[in-house]
Structure 1
Amino acid sequence: MRASTPKAWVLRSPVAPERAQALAVQLGISHTFAALLANRGFCSSVEVQDFLEPNLDKLLDAFTMRDMDRAAARIWKAIDERESILVYGDYDVDGITATGLLTSALARLGAKVSYFIPDRIRDGYGFSLRGVEVAKKRRIRLVITADCGITATNEVKIAKQHGIDVIVTDHHEPLGVLPAADAVLNPKRRDCAYLFKELAGVGVVLKLVQGLAQYRPGSLPEDFVYEHLDLVALGTIADVVPLRGENRIFAKLGLERICDSTKPGIVALKEVAGLRAKRVESGHVAYILAPRINAAGRLGNAESGVRLLLSTEPSEAMTIAESLEEDNTMRKKIDESTLEEALDQLQALGPELPPAIVLWSERWHPGVLGIVASRLMERYHRPTILIAADEDEGKGSGRSIPGFDVCQGLQECSEHLIGFGGHSYAAGLTIRADQLHSFREHLCSVVSERLTADDYVPKLSIDGPLRLEDCNEDLVHFLDRLSPFGLGNTEPLFIAENIQIAGSPAVVSRNHLKLNVRQNGRELECIGFGMGHLAGPIQSEPGRICIAFVPTINVWQNRARLQLKLRDVQIR
């Protein structure tokens, strides 16, 4: 098996000391904290306070989004005239939460509303012709998409021909001509003046809910938005959009709502995931809660995810959550077998890694390809596309690295594709089977023209050096105020050099590295998740090491102690 690509440590460029000192004085914090904030681009105490204390008052005016007035007017017309409305969502967590939020809001406003989530295998991605047939069968007069539809020009045209109005809400990249819908809400529209462009699909839906409430004041309870931020946080964090601007408000306040939520679906989801009594953080959403919501949609139909979020009965919610837990267990097994086969295929391509990893198989399940593509991309730091193909066509998922917009890359290779869509770091595609080899060659050519050798080296962005003697609980508590962490707001990462190993490193829980380190008389425990393979090299090279780490507080059996969470180790 190929070794993963080693990481390069890149220190953030330090700002002028006087800028950090000014922040320290203005905020009454230590120079260490102030330097961290200054290096992350904060220039004033006002910026810092807005970041550390997000609130809903900072949300932008929904009506600065293009077509919001048209969307609100058409939806209120449907509500007033008792027209049937269909919310048509995507099958991932973003789409599921967006569907749940919009359905809940419309029901509260008195609408005749139902929802539909396409089957990943049978219907494929986006607003489809089957969606039009479903709308006709249900006698729908207005379809509102949630997290999809921005490229559905033909489907929207056909829906309109059948007397069905369509409002598109989406956040994916528009490609060419927009659908001729009654309204198209997407901050990425070139003609949209909305200042924050990085909303998730559920974020766009939240703006629509705000717009509906603003269009007719008093129509929704004042706390409706806050009470539903748990759904918004789930979709926002799961879809890996930058956690800054409005997304930070949604994520920060939404995580609080997840912890305190009385929604039966959220309570049941936390219960089966083992998080009932824990403080839920962004990592819990990304790696524990979101995969369970996603599970049914990956293996079949995702409507059970919406039913879970909309459930009002604890017993029903628990039944759905337990079913999703079973689906997730099955999904993990399929993930592992797919990853093993993909690694074998990659090895068979030759000793050199290609510019882009493009693999396919008739045995692969389309529902897990995005997860496995992410794992390959993280391991080898290459744009990666995996395709489940039969003798006629294939459906694939792609993931990319900084410096290469995978959606734009697919645009340049579109002559080989039936269809595609997505954004910079993630995309989906459909392709004719006879085009697989030529597509791989073309994409590799495009990638090699765009990327340099340095782009293929994964980077660890380091906030700065930190001595072990300066690691303490006050530092950890301050760093926690910067959470939630994710794209656009990475967890603060430090390096310590000239580190001694105290005792012998150990491998725990199958593949985690555990060791004690010492520097200038201060000894601390370290844990490196998934880094058990380093125990041998560290043991055989008894010199000093350098570590990249995050200071944390580990609580075990009601005892709290300082622990360093390792992100990388350099043996020198």
Structure 2
Amino acid sequence: MRAEKRWVVKPAGDAQKVAHLSRCLSIDRPLANLLFQRGVTTPEEANDFFNPQLENLLDPFLMQDMLTAVERIDRAVRREERIMIYGDYDVDGISAVSLLYNFLIKWSKELLFYIPDRYAEGYGISERGIDYAYDNGVKLIITLDCGIKANTKVKYAKERNIDFIICDHHLPGDKLPPAVAVLDPKRSDCQYPFKDLSGCGVGFKLIQAYAQYKELPFSYVEEGLDLVAISIASDIVPIIGENRILAHYGLRKLNTNPNKGLGAIIKMCGLEHHRIAIDDIIFKIGPRINAAGRMEIEIDYDDPRAQSGGRTAVRLLTAPTPERALYYVRRIDEFNKDRKSIDRNITQEAHNFIAGREEFRNTKSTVIYNPNWMKGVVGIVASRLIETYFRPTVVLTLSNGMVTGSARSVPGFDLYQAVESCSDLLENFGGHTYAAGLTMRPENLDEFRRRFEKFVVDNINPEETIQYVEIDMELDLNEITPSFRQTLTRFEPFGPGNPSPIFLTREAVDNGTARLVGAKNEHLKMELLQPKESRYSTISAIAFSQTSHYEHVRGNGAIDVCYTVVDNNFQGMISPQLRVKDVRPSEQGE
């Protein structure tokens, strides 16, 4: 059912202005054009873009309630009140809890952290978590990456004389929770200029503010930048504005002096001699942090009997010694191997389910349910299904007697609005434009499926139903020179708002060594060149899950190929590699 992708080439920038930018910056014209396409049109703007500065971080006290939050934390520290840091069980929440814990442990020994059990408690603040805080004498709970709609739970805590500070980045409801302070740049009354911080990013602004309030050196705050970069990459927030600064310096720390837990993950992934980029976080580091929360067992170095979920990942990221970090990372890597096997099997079951039912051939959305699927991997499965069917997708399972799961969207379609339109059928939901989580009673499933599909049909634009590749510009292979690659790295970090540029090369051929690679020969490996060039050399290319053109390529057939340029690190040797997005035989044109 995989449809052919539509190729859309962006218009080039003004030729004279691009040439001027190229001369002023002494960079290749295609890269000057790339800057122009991204709204960077002057040498001064290019300097800011290429050289993010920490001094350009925004004043954290611009965020509504920040001073109140800092004063309450300071009072808790001075009075030696017990503080509990509470976060979501995904990478953003786990990194945020670890960030704040690593910072506050320097000033307070009365510190606990709490990650809710994905299976027993579900998303957000739970009464069980509040009861745990009460039983342990906690007077202040600081939430990260959750809590913005937890009105009844915060009220429940207040009845037990527990204060709340909420740090979140999701959209608030009509009424804010009755917390001491609510830090969320998406509050309608919040004047903070940058609205797209990650949950960990909001936590970073809190420690930045505390450090300023206590006149502490900024070095205490910088220590957490690697965790902020992990959250920015994994939560897929726009890497523009303040996020670009945080990600830039977070990646620098990740590559030079990561915290002990992240250092252990880097070694486990074989990245210690590799220049770590956003993709490495998304595909290697982040999934390992996520794995502990997705599986159903918790590991405690001091108490092997401990049972729960994502707290193991926090123990890794707050490990005080390399020995403890190594202990946790080995166990988490086992979780990740199990997780990959489970999500691979469930994805195949989902494909089989869709292929076997006629009704899915004409729908604009996919809503599937299996009570036996593992709750912790349904979000991954939803993302995989979109890669094939390219339509808003909801994957549901049964947990604690409730139908629960994850939803994912296609570019341009507001998934959150679609889920919100069914809110009267839901017990709980949350998320943003492209991803959401939801829970409902089993008897509401059929009506939810019907109404979700109707909302998609009524609101999705036809172009949003056709998968496409947005191409920045055409390029000849001989233009990918060492200087081109060096300048291209200065565009990083890549992500939403500043995506890795996609180039198009026409009439390329393989040098005769094309082969299928991967455990199941599911990927196409090529060495490409352009015979039309008077001077040419081959360049390595990898096309993941794109084997349909193998025979054409092996037969020396010319292809048009669109791709990103990445570094291929093999046995310590770094060379350019094309990561192929799509391939077409040249004679088909566009």
1:375-418 deviation line (CA, Å, top 9, x unaligned)? 11122211111111269421111111122222221110112111
- The residue number in structure 1 matching 2:497 is 488
Q: Give the equivalent residue in structure 2 for 1:551.
A: 565
Identical-pair percentage = 37
Partner Cα separation in structure 2 for residue 475 and residue 410 of structure 1: 44
How big is the shift at 1:561? 4.0
**Is structure 2 residue 404 aligned with structure 1 residue 367?**
no
Q: 1:288 to 1:105 in 2, by over 3 A?
A: same
> Where does 1:371-386 land on structure 2 (aligned, <5 Å)?
371-386=380-395
Alpha-carbon spacing, 1:564–1:460, altered in 2? closer, same or farther (3 Å): same
Task: From the superposition, tell whether residues 454 and 541 of structure 1 become closer, same or farther in structure 2 (CA, over 3 Å).
Answer: farther
The yes-or-no answer on 1:50 pairing with 2:48 is: yes
514-523 or 452-461: bigger deviation: 514-523
| CA apart distance, 1:191 | 1.1
Farther-moved stretch of structure 1 (337-346 vs 259-268): 259-268
Q: How does 1:444-523 map to 2 (within 5 A)?
A: 444-503=453-512, 505-509=514-518, 510-519=521-530, 520-521=532-533, 522-523=536-537
Q: Which residue of 2 aligns with 1:356?
A: 365
- Please state if 1:335 is matched with 2:343: yes
Residue 264 of structure 1: CA displacement?
A: 2.2
Alignment of 1:31 with 2:14, yes or no, is no
Task: Report the Cα offset of residue 501 of structure 1.
Answer: 4.2
Structure 1 residue 541: Cα displacement: 7.5
Task: Report matched runs for 1:178-193 at 5 Å.
Answer: 178-193=176-191
Give the AA of the match of 1:360.
Answer: Y
> Aligned partners of 1:436, 1:88: CA distance in 2, in Å?
31
CA, structure 1 residues 47+206, in 2 after alignment: closer, same or farther (shift >3 Å)?
same
Secondary structure at 1:507's aligned position in 2?
Answer: strand
Match 1:121 to one of 119, 122, 135: 119
Does residue 151 (structure 1) correspond to residue 162 (structure 2)? The answer is no
Q: Distance in 2 between matches of 1:540 and 1:308?
A: 47
**TM-superposed deviation, 1:523:** 4.3
Q: TM-score, normalised by structure 1?
A: 0.95
Q: Which amino acid aligns with 1:323?
A: R
Q: Determine the C-alpha separation between the residues in 2 that align with 1:347 and 1:391.
A: 29
The CA deviation string for residues 40-92 of structure 1, in whole angstroms up to 9 with x for no partner, is 21122222112211121110000111111111111111112221111111111
* Distance in 2, Cα, partners of 1:353 & 1:476: 44
Task: Give the corresponding residue for 1:9.
Answer: 7
| Aligned positions, number | 568
Distance of aligned partners of 1:385 and 1:330 in 2 relative to their CA distance in 1, 3 Å threshold: same
| Cα distance change on mapping 1:500 and 1:337 into 2, 3 Å | closer
Contact 2:512 2:556 in 1 (8 A): no
- 2 CA distance for matches of 1:360 and 1:559? 47
| Cα displacement (A) at 1:272 | 1.6
RMSD: 1.8
Which residue in the other structure is 1:435 paired with?
A: 444
Extract unaligned runs of 5+ from structure 2.
297-308
CA contact (8 A) 1:524 1:564 kept: no
Matched, 1:260 2:256: yes
Report the residue type matching 1:546 in the other structure: D
* Contact residue 506 and residue 535 of structure 1 kept, 8 A: no
CA contact (8 A) 1:263 1:312 kept: no
Q: Is the 8 A contact 1:26 1:45 kept in 2?
A: yes
Report the residue type matching 1:393 in the other structure. Answer: M
Distance 1:543 1:275, change over 3 A: closer
TM-score by length of 2: 0.93
Partner of 1:534: 548
Separation in structure 1 between the aligned mates of residue 66 and residue 239 of structure 2, nearest angstrom = 24
In the aligned structure 2, how far is the partner of 1:52 from the partner of 1:517? 31
What CA deviation, in whole Å up to 9, does each residue of 1:194-214 have, x standing for no partner?
A: 111110000000000011112
Counterparts of 1:271 and 1:539, CA distance in 2: 37
Match of 2:312 among 304, 307, 319: 304
The residue aligned with 1:195 is 193
1:266-285, aligned counterparts within 5 Å? 266-285=262-281
Instruction: Tell me which residue corresponds to 2:99.
Output: 101
Determine if contact 2:427/2:439 at 8 Å carries over to the other structure. Answer: yes
The answer (yes or no) to whether the contact 2:516–2:525 under 8 Å persists in 1 is yes
Q: 1:242 aligns with which of 231, 238, 245?
A: 238
Deviation at 1:527, TM superposition (A): 2.1
